[in-house]
Structure 1
Amino acid sequence: MNVNQSQLSRKTDQKDDIKMTEYNINDIIQSIVCLNDGGWTPSNVIPLVQKEIEKIHAETIQSVCNNSFDVPAVFSEANDLRAESQLLIEEIKTCKHEIEANTMAEVLKSIESHDLISKEIDSVNFAHSIVKDAILCGKYLKEFEEGKKLQSFTKAVESVYDLLLFVDKPKYGFDQLEIYNNAKVTGQLIMENLVHDLTLEWDKMVCLNKSTEENRTTVSVAMTMGETALCIDVLNALDKCKRLDEKVSQMSRFLLDDILVPIMNESCLIEEHENGSNLRLVFDHKVSTKPQYDEVIKNMTYIFSYISKFLDFEFKNNTTLMILLGRNISSEFTDLIVENVFIHTVPSNITQLYSYDQVTTAIEKFQGFLSTVHFFPEEGYTLLSYMKDINSLFAERASKYILESARTIMLKDLSTAMSIGVEKIPENSDKLKSEPTDVDVIEALDVLDKTIPNSLLFFPRCMISKSAQELLDLVIETMEQAVQSSDIASRKLYNTARLIFELYDAVVPYHHEIFLLSIPQYVALFHNNCMYLAHNLQTLGDKWSNLMDGSCVNYAISFLDLVQKMRNLGYKYLTMQLQQQRKQILDNIRSSDMNCLIGKDVLGDNAEAAVRQCLRQLQLLKNVWIGVFPHNVFTRLIATLVNMFLEELIHRVCTVEDISVEMATQLTYMYNIVVQKVPHMFHTQMDVEKYVVSWAKFKELIFILGASLRDLESHWNDGNGPLAVYFSVEELRSLIKALFQNTQFRANFLSKIK
């Protein structure tokens, strides 16, 4: 079979020498049949096709004969291979039958033996595991006893802790034994006893107590820790049983909440025992002021020095109790001391800000000390983190201080007064020492003189509260600080200055409300304060801008919008006071016989008393207002009240239909008292005639009450006399009818009054 395969291979290797003609059927058909010629028929074409087929058949035979393949040999070789394959199949079937009959029985028997052996091995391993676990439990208990004999908390805790870890996740089968339950309960009881003993040892080494009384709190600290075998043993044992973090956390929280934070906020007295192991801190609640930063740093340095003496020793690799203490509270401590102490050291004025280095130096020194005692790590913590926003903090601090100072000033007594202003406003402002030569400048100054009143630059002589001047001085001081500050602080101070006047509007009327509604002098001073502040607000923005000259300011500086608001505040309470005074005058008149003259022949004594009371009221106002208000303001205010008073007296007479001779005489007497008293209520008697509109009419009314008809006729003078000037036709006719009987002369006179 191998020989034949070799021959076949040799023959087939010659196939590359065979060359056959390639036929294209389409080309042959086109050569036989002309497709473009529609006259051909199948009978004509068939002979040609047969001839072509015979030609191809002959060529095929020739090609096969010329081929190097031995086709019969190939067929013979294929038959031999088929016979050999059949023999191999028969042999395989025979082998399969023998395997199934003999070998499989032995294999099945071996598998059964293997399963039995595996079960026996598993049983032995299970028993071995249980025995091993029981021995391990005994080993842990034995190690505990050894640690107990050696008085080693660490070794005892380690053995019990390992035992509890082991019984916490027991292997299968061991948890079904009674020894497992006994070991678990025993381990838990032992661990509880150990923790109790360790807690007692800890409490002996760290004793923290606090007692609170009515006005003070006392904190006692006693420590005996040190780098001793017992102390290290206790700490490692607590660490092994996961109780050290809890103890350190409790100590840290007590230290922070009951010692460090109170030191930041309250007065503290520290007393140390002679042996140096006991410390006593007394916090006095009666002292309301917060301690200064240097006092806080001093007390805290003392506290940390004390505790580091007992806690700053290594009990395991690179670990001390001071390090653990710092990990617990250093971050919170930093935030609290910055918020409660160091933020308050930020100065409230620019002068203190320039000398702030001594504060930061003290804080840096304190921070270095905390790193030395290992409360702070070497890097990562800084007590001066707030310094990155020092400009904003300064602005906030200065603003708060200024507003608090302003509020304190506003609460002061308004009656503490001072004189201010000029007696007389100059008619022409001072000429410039050197006259400008520029024509445009001269023209601009001329327009300025004509359009802006000279009084804009001067404030009339009057009295104001000293607190108003203090408030203005505070604003000017704020301006001066703003010039020397950074952009952030400067803008904040500008807004603060504006807030001062907003605060004035809210605080002063509210705080002094009772006095402003009841005491005329308070109202006068408050009015002047508002006018004085408004006067300065007109130019305050320009002054500020001049001071800020050279600085890049990207916001508008102006106080003009507050001017009218401040004036309106003064007007409001002055108007309320005038209305109150007017009401009192009218009430006095209307509560007497002057209220209704109809049907009366004679007035009672209360009429004259009411008039005199009104005059006393006006005189009192004169006494408390003269010299307080500016001259012109005082004159106009008194003139307004006097004019109202006179109009009321005139109205009472002009509305009566019948006035007896006796009543006319009484009215003349009372009204003459008014004429005598009123001029003395002004700076000069000429002011009455100039500012009291009803003064001439009132005097003419007195004349009417005591005159005859002929006198009246002469004063009428055909509509050209004083009566025609001050009285209307209706008023005059009504007065004549009320005062005189109906006679022909009266009728003739009345007919002339038209």
Structure 2
Amino acid sequence: MVPTAVSPHSFARSVITHLNDTTLPLSTPQPSQTAAAPLDSSLNHVPPATSDDLVQTINSLDTEIQTIKAQVYKKLLANYGAFSESFEYTLELKDKIDGLLERADNMTSRTTDPENGLRQTVMSALVEHHEISHRVQESNGIQEGLKHFSRVEDILSRYEAFMDSGKILQAGHCIQQAEQCSRMTDAIDQMLDDLIANAIHYQYPTDDTGIHYKVTISYDIKVPALALPRSSSNSTPGLIRWHELIRALTLLDVAQEKLRPLQKDLLNVFAFIHRNIFLNDYSSSEFNAEEFSSDTEILTHFLGRNIAKETCTMISKYYLSRVVPTDINGLREFSSIASAATHLEDELIALGFLTEADRDLRVFVENIDIHYTNNRRDTLLRQGRAVIMSEDFKTIQVKDLDKDDDLEKDGDAWGRIADIDTDVKESSISIKAKQLVDMILSTLHEAQSLSENASPHLYKATRSLIDLYRALMPVHHARALTNVPALAILFYNDCMYIARELEKIPARLEDGIPGMDEVQYDESIPALKSLARKWFNTQLQKQREELMQSLDGTGGFQDSSVDSNFGACERSMKQVVFVFKHLGKVWKSTLSPMTFYKSLGQLLDEVSKRVIKELEDLPDISEKESHKLATLCGLLFECEDQFDSAGALVEVAKGDTFDDEDPIHFFVPSWQKFQLLTDILELSFAEIMTRFRAGQLHLFEEGELSDLICAIFADTPLRKHNLEEIEQGHPVALSHHTH
């Protein structure tokens, strides 16, 4: 039986448990413990301890300690047997572990021994296996190489024989059978270049001869000597004819590359082929490549469908498409280029290389209007994008532009509805807007001289330019438009100006443009105006937040009679006035008058309404505080001068209802109430009631007026009587019949 192991921790826990066992016999309570109660209850009644008491207490403690020791020894003796068995079992385990460690050391030494170790043996075997594998691969490679060399040797012999006799086609087959032979490929490539060089001779004009450019093509082509080490010095090069050379080029798939020189004088080349190869007796409109009966048909199909047709395609793609005019004058001058292109195509059809169905050049030049509009559209958008992306925000007065505009001289000539709220006649715009409008108008005037198929494309290009402006302007200039109030307002004017000019286009183009019943921008105009209002309202909201943030410094005008609080309120109100006047200075030269006054009026109305509300919310206003508040309100009166020149506009806007009122009251609806509140803060109770009875305080609700009186004046029988009169409602007076 394996003895039960008792760990040191288990043994210690057992000892502590027995020490804490309350069942152990203990001696009588210690004197020190019994004496504790009297000490807690009444320290004054315990007599002092004597020496006998101390001796007795010490003896009791010794006895108790001896008893506890005896119990501990008893427990130790009781568990001694289990402890001994565990200790012996531990020794056995130690011996076994030592044996295992010794065996592990032996295995490690047998594995890592530098001479006889297992690791060294395995490494040696792997190296030997790698070397044997490499030798086997080399042997296999040599065998494959010998087989391949034998096959290539045979191909090379046949290749040289074909080349000596000028049989290029058969030599080409040899190349296809031995693609790995780069020398052969290089040789046949050089041979083809030499053959084409011998076949085509160019004569350039010089001052001495005075001849024109001329190309000469040889029908029988002399085969150049083969430049290979194995070639026979006694070999005699033969002759090759054009049809053999072309078939070789075709089979080797290098025709397009090798025949590029033929493109320099197309008509001479094709005339030569027609005269010397087809002998003027062959022509056909259609060929079936699967039913060729002769080399002539093969060559005609190749040259006609691949060389001639491909040449016309290249002319269309790489020449005509790049000389498409970019302006209307160039379009008129394109006729000479169109004539030359169609003449070339006519000649190729007459020679039989092309058919009527192959007229790519004529199709291109007949649709030059479409190509022009596509080119013009790309140019318009590219130039428009440069204008939009420009950081130049120079301004110009709209009224200066309208001086030369016949439609503006006769305001009703273009059937517009005059709207003083959105009229930009008296405002400023950026040069960008003027440039974009000029681009649109010039493009539409060009469209009037084009065909019905082309004109609508230019009209659509102008709409694309407007869409580009609406998409790019707010993104590329977002930071400037957000942080600079003047630029945001300028952008608003630009959008409104462009929209106004688009509205005038039907009147400018009375005859319209070909292919369209009416030229209108019914979708673009509302989109521009919506974009303008969006950014305008965003800027107004930003300025409103700045004014409200300045008013936050007043702290609701609480305790304004205290000097420190009054100073903070005064600084806040002056900041409001500064921001307001700065906006007036920046916007007045940019916005139209009506928009300018309405914008400032909206902001000042928000400020005055907040001040009124915060003053009405004050629960108690002392006499001193009332005068202080009136002084603070008086600071805002500096803003009134911004509206001094607005009387004429108010008269136009109100028409027959105009009664020579203060213009600020038209643009700032709460301003009159703000003025009355300032007066109330300074008036006596009797003066307030006099104005009330005259109907001059009708802008205040009865409750508002009662709360103000309760805050300003103490509770007296007179105040009670007057409040009862106010609660009965405002009297009807002539002074406010019209309000």
TM-score of the superposed pair, with normalisation by structure 1: 0.55
Partner-residue secondary structure (3-state), 1:227: strand
Give the paired residue count.
501
The residue that corresponds to 1:735 in the other structure is 708
The residue type equivalent to 2:582 in the other structure is L
The residue that corresponds to 2:471 in the other structure is 506
Classify 1:725/1:743 alpha carbon distance in 2 versus 1 (closer, same or farther; 3 Å).
same
The residue that corresponds to 2:256 in the other structure is 252
The residue that corresponds to 2:383 in the other structure is 405
Bigger Rg, structure 1 or 2: 1
Pair 1:667 & 2:647 matched: no
Measure, in 1, the Cα distance between the counterparts of 2:667 and 2:498: 28
The residue that corresponds to 1:201 in the other structure is 187
**Superimposed CA distance per residue, residues 283-319 of structure 1 (whole angstroms, 9 cap, x where no aligned partner):** xxxxxxxxxxxxxx9xx8499999xx9xx999x9989
Partner-residue secondary structure (3-state), 2:326: coil
Conserved in 2, the CA contact under 8 Å of 1:346 and 1:394? yes
1:543 to partner: Cα distance: 2.7
Conserved in 1, the CA contact under 8 Å of 2:421 and 2:595? no
Measure, in 1, the Cα distance between the counterparts of 2:712 and 2:402: 49
1:451-462 alignment runs, 5 A limit = 460-462=425-427
1:75-114 alignment runs, 5 A limit = none
The residue that corresponds to 1:577 in the other structure is 539
The residue type equivalent to 1:464 in the other structure is I
**Superimposed CA distance per residue, residues 664-686 of structure 1 (whole angstroms, 9 cap, x where no aligned partner):** 33322221111134424654695
Partner-residue secondary structure (3-state), 1:750: helix
1:201 to partner: Cα distance: 3.0
1:390 to partner: Cα distance: 2.0
The residue type equivalent to 1:700 in the other structure is L
Measure, in 2, the Cα distance between the counterparts of 1:321 and 1:555: 53
**Superimposed CA distance per residue, residues 542-601 of structure 1 (whole angstroms, 9 cap, x where no aligned partner):** 3323355xx6x56343334543332222111111111111112112212x2334637985
Conserved in 2, the CA contact under 8 Å of 1:461 and 1:630? yes
Sequence identity (%): 20
Higher mean C-alpha displacement, 727-736 vs 235-244: 235-244
1:312-711 alignment runs, 5 A limit = 331-332=309-310, 334-360=312-338, 383-413=361-391, 415-421=393-399, 460-546=425-511, 548=513, 555-590=517-552, 592-595=553-556, 597=558, 603=565, 605-680=567-642, 683=645, 686-711=662-687
1:622 to partner: Cα distance: 0.9
1:414 to partner: Cα distance: 6.4
The residue type equivalent to 2:576 in the other structure is C
**Superimposed CA distance per residue, residues 433-478 of structure 1 (whole angstroms, 9 cap, x where no aligned partner):** xxxxxxxxxxxx9xx9999659799852210112212222222212
The residue that corresponds to 2:725 in the other structure is 752
Classify 1:638/1:430 alpha carbon distance in 2 versus 1 (closer, same or farther; 3 Å).
closer
Measure, in 1, the Cα distance between the counterparts of 2:192 and 2:176: 24
Measure, in 1, the Cα distance between the counterparts of 2:415 and 2:458: 36
**Superimposed CA distance per residue, residues 608-650 of structure 1 (whole angstroms, 9 cap, x where no aligned partner):** 2222222221112111110211112111111111111111111
The residue type equivalent to 2:185 in the other structure is T
Conserved in 1, the CA contact under 8 Å of 2:223 and 2:239? no
Conserved in 2, the CA contact under 8 Å of 1:422 and 1:460? no
The residue type equivalent to 1:593 in the other structure is T
Measure, in 2, the Cα distance between the counterparts of 1:683 and 1:335: 71
Unaligned regions of 5+ residues in structure 2, if any?
1-152, 195-217, 227-236, 280-294, 648-661, 728-739
1:245 to partner: Cα distance: 3.7
Conserved in 1, the CA contact under 8 Å of 2:342 and 2:361? yes
1:205 to partner: Cα distance: 4.2
Measure, in 2, the Cα distance between the counterparts of 1:673 and 1:538: 45
The residue type equivalent to 2:433 in the other structure is A
Conserved in 2, the CA contact under 8 Å of 1:198 and 1:238? no
The residue type equivalent to 2:452 in the other structure is D
1:354 to partner: Cα distance: 0.7
Measure, in 2, the Cα distance between the counterparts of 1:652 and 1:528: 36
Measure, in 1, the Cα distance between the counterparts of 2:304 and 2:376: 34
Conserved in 1, the CA contact under 8 Å of 2:402 and 2:408? no
The residue type equivalent to 1:745 in the other structure is L
Partner-residue secondary structure (3-state), 2:397: strand
The residue type equivalent to 2:713 in the other structure is F
Q: 1:230 aligns with which of 207, 224, 230?
A: 224
Classify 1:524/1:148 alpha carbon distance in 2 versus 1 (closer, same or farther; 3 Å).
closer
Conserved in 1, the CA contact under 8 Å of 2:316 and 2:361? yes
1:35-114 alignment runs, 5 A limit = none
The residue type equivalent to 2:475 in the other structure is Y
Q: CA RMSD in A?
A: 5.4
1:745 to partner: Cα distance: 2.6
The residue that corresponds to 2:25 in the other structure is none
Conserved in 2, the CA contact under 8 Å of 1:647 and 1:694? yes
**Superimposed CA distance per residue, residues 383-429 of structure 1 (whole angstroms, 9 cap, x where no aligned partner):** 4541132232223223333333333333334622100138999xxx9
1:521 to partner: Cα distance: 1.2
**Superimposed CA distance per residue, residues 135-188 of structure 1 (whole angstroms, 9 cap, x where no aligned partner):** xxxxxx99x999979983447996x99xx9xxxxxxxxxxxxxxxxxxxxxxx9
Classify 1:493/1:600 alpha carbon distance in 2 versus 1 (closer, same or farther; 3 Å).
same
The residue type equivalent to 1:520 in the other structure is P
The residue type equivalent to 1:608 in the other structure is E
Measure, in 2, the Cα distance between the counterparts of 1:151 and 1:690: 104
Classify 1:455/1:194 alpha carbon distance in 2 versus 1 (closer, same or farther; 3 Å).
closer
**Superimposed CA distance per residue, residues 189-216 of structure 1 (whole angstroms, 9 cap, x where no aligned partner):** 99859987753432444679xxxxxxxx
Conserved in 2, the CA contact under 8 Å of 1:157 and 1:240? yes
Conserved in 2, the CA contact under 8 Å of 1:635 and 1:683? no
**Superimposed CA distance per residue, residues 357-397 of structure 1 (whole angstroms, 9 cap, x where no aligned partner):** 2433665798899999x9x8899676454113223222322
Conserved in 2, the CA contact under 8 Å of 1:239 and 1:245? no
Classify 1:321/1:624 alpha carbon distance in 2 versus 1 (closer, same or farther; 3 Å).
farther
Measure, in 2, the Cα distance between the counterparts of 1:734 and 1:361: 94
The residue that corresponds to 1:89 in the other structure is none
Conserved in 1, the CA contact under 8 Å of 2:397 and 2:427? yes
The residue type equivalent to 1:202 in the other structure is I
The residue type equivalent to 1:353 in the other structure is L
TM-score of the superposed pair, with normalisation by structure 2: 0.56
Higher mean C-alpha displacement, 462-471 vs 658-667: 658-667
The residue that corresponds to 1:152 in the other structure is 164
Measure, in 1, the Cα distance between the counterparts of 2:495 and 2:158: 91
Conserved in 1, the CA contact under 8 Å of 2:385 and 2:468? yes
**Superimposed CA distance per residue, residues 680-719 of structure 1 (whole angstroms, 9 cap, x where no aligned partner):** 4654695324422222221221122222222222222x2x
Measure, in 1, the Cα distance between the counterparts of 2:430 and 2:253: 59
1:5-16 alignment runs, 5 A limit = none
Classify 1:662/1:587 alpha carbon distance in 2 versus 1 (closer, same or farther; 3 Å).
same
Partner-residue secondary structure (3-state), 1:748: helix
Measure, in 1, the Cα distance between the counterparts of 2:453 and 2:242: 54
Classify 1:192/1:599 alpha carbon distance in 2 versus 1 (closer, same or farther; 3 Å).
closer
1:248 to partner: Cα distance: 4.9
Conserved in 2, the CA contact under 8 Å of 1:422 and 1:459? no
